[in-house]
Amino acid sequence: MAGVAGVALLLMISAMIYSAESSVDHGKEVYAAQKCSMCHSVAGAGNKAHPLDGIGSKMNADELKKFITNPKETKPNISMRAYSNLPGKDLDDLVAYLESLKN
């Protein structure tokens, strides 16, 4: 019985890891589809004026989500447009991708 429980636990953990990885991968696709690299860069790719490297260490998920959907609320003079119409999964996965950018 303990063996079955152990296998079940491993399967659950594997599914959670896969889900997190697929969220980050989809978030990277959202980043590309929304043409974020026109204004931002990651690992030197894109517009170097506003690098996002390390953003995952500077802002948490709620802060990132708020900034993406309503940037002027955080920084009134910013020229970034609001992405308030992104579908929920796209927004969540974009945030997951940005959170993965730790350094």
d(CA 51, CA 7): 42
Could you read off the pLDDT of 65-83 as tens digits, one per residue? 999 999 999 999 999 999 9
Selected residue with higher pLDDT from 16 and 59: 59
pTM summary value: 0.79
d(CA 67, CA 84): 10
pLDDT at 19 (0 to 100): 54
Could you read off the pLDDT of 18-53 as tens digits, one per residue? 455 699 999 999 999 999 999 999 999 999 989 999
Q: For tokens 């974020």, what's the residue?
A: 36
Nearest by Cα to 89 from 23, 5, 39, 10? 23
What domains appear along the chain, each with residue ranges and CATH number? 2-100 (2.60.40.420)
pLDDT at 103 (0 to 100): 77
Q: Using N-to-C axis directions, what is the helix angle for 2-33 and 88-100, rounded to 10°?
A: 100
Nearest by Cα to 100 from 73, 74, 64? 64
pLDDT at 2 (0 to 100): 65
pLDDT at 38 (0 to 100): 96
